[in-house]
Structure 1
């Protein structure tokens, strides 16, 4: 385990031969990096894989070095995580990917970037809200009402668990419920992001030379993946992999396809190393 100066927590989950360090940043926010355990275990990439939790997110509370207001430097504190290891490759899921695209300075210190089930701006939100109206889940409505009146971590967990049919393909909903139920939640992080980031989000940079992988589930109902169709995101350094019949957690629905996409990026990074 490592801590950065401001309390970002890095926990190493997998070690393989190679000098790359893969930094896995969860979505949510308010959901711990435990949500990405299956992703780390699925992909077979060279080097070490680290679970990253920002101060005040997931179970990373009262982190050593964190300021009294742990959200004060969000999301720019991500730079500390990138500098905490050599040859970093950042992997961001959902809101985690949005945080990464909000920190332009990352472009100068990464070896690679992976964006999973995320978006370049906040225009996905009205699409999501329309989806929820057309595909209502009474359990979500009830859990949300409890959460709004009493925004505890447990009530946030209940909202997320009830949303499993929106997040996973039908065949993996039961497994998705197990995953969503086991991870730590942090309602304060969720509230901070809702008030200070989510609806005003606009990416601040796009990599033009950095090896980059965009992973999209073809059936993602949480964050519409159509926003990546804009030609500005189809640079020569970027690969966009649309995973057939996969939802918001594509590595759960189609693990082999996600593993193959990561393997291709790892080869791209290693080839770049060889020519530098």
Structure 2
């Protein structure tokens, strides 16, 4: 292990992506589950924020296999082990994409250990799922159906990757589909993580905390077809500490279509953090 790769006591892995002057530590947690933090490389690289940017993988997720200190099975303490990463580094700002953000909102102890919070294409509860299923029925992708059958017959990283790559048209705008397909094709995947989340988290998820004073940034793509972003319209998610930025033309990975707009949103949060 070296200072560009850290592990918490339970095997959460942090890999340093970028380091600039500044005291903030940005912790990038991928969606999925089962997809590696490599899915957020383009996001991290699009930003101009002070401090150090770390890519975070839970034990047993993405390519973080046989992590030192991980329980057996490694998902046993999900998502509570996310607290360890926030405690490992000072001035931590967690950045959760999609399900990653939902995991963060399931760990109330995080609030007192963070300097800030960013939620991208995420949700406060599981009520986004029926809308997603309806969308897939209105806009069927035969290649997803075929890949899903192969996955169900043989659950593996390879067949999971095939399903995800086949779903690119749901995840990205038409102009960005080819870019998105390449992004999804190069990811490490973990089918066991998908199974764990499906059995224990996805359908029963409801946020267990919401920041009262913590500087918080909500980023929603205007064209996100995966996780319905209208759930954030409720008054309880407003506050002087909450910035909400709607990315016009952005889909579920809004930095792919609109990197400059997403970067500007992060700069707005930095201004709040350093105020």
- Work out whether the TM-score is over 0.5: yes
Is 1:252 paired with 2:231?
A: no
- Partner residue, 2:136: 132
User: Which segments of 5 or more consecutive residues in structure 1 lack a partner in the other structure?
Assistant: 272-276
Counterpart pick for 2:42 among 38, 44, 47: 38
User: Which segments of 5 or more consecutive residues in structure 2 lack a partner in the other structure?
Assistant: none
C-alpha displacement of 1:15: 0.2
Q: 2: distance between equivalents of 1:86 and 1:41? A: 22
Counterpart pick for 1:101 among 90, 105, 108: 105
Is 1:70 paired with 2:80?
A: no
Is 1:166 paired with 2:166?
A: no
Q: 1: distance between equivalents of 2:155 and 2:128? A: 24
Counterpart pick for 1:27 among 19, 26, 31: 31
TM-score (norm 1): 0.98
* Residue deviations 1:78-129 (CA, integer Å, cap 9, x gap): 0001011110000000000000000000000100000000000000000000
Is 1:262 paired with 2:263?
A: no
Q: 1: distance between equivalents of 2:243 and 2:272? A: 10
- Partner residue, 1:212: 216
* Residue deviations 1:145-181 (CA, integer Å, cap 9, x gap): 1111111110000000000000001111000000000
C-alpha displacement of 1:31: 0.1
SS for the counterpart of 1:199 is coil
* Residue deviations 1:172-219 (CA, integer Å, cap 9, x gap): 100000000001000000000000000000000000100000000000
- Does the CA-based 8 Å contact 2:215-2:269 persist in structure 1? yes
* Residue deviations 1:251-273 (CA, integer Å, cap 9, x gap): 001011000000010111011xx
- Partner residue, 2:200: 196
SS for the counterpart of 2:256 is helix
Flag as ranges the 4+ runs of structure 1 deviating above 6 A. Answer: none
Q: 1: distance between equivalents of 2:41 and 2:240? A: 30
Q: 2: distance between equivalents of 1:109 and 1:67? A: 23
SS for the counterpart of 1:200 is coil
- Partner residue, 1:179: 183
- Does the CA-based 8 Å contact 2:71-2:77 persist in structure 1? no
Provide the alpha-carbon RMSD of the alignment: 0.5
Counterpart pick for 2:153 among 129, 149, 162: 149
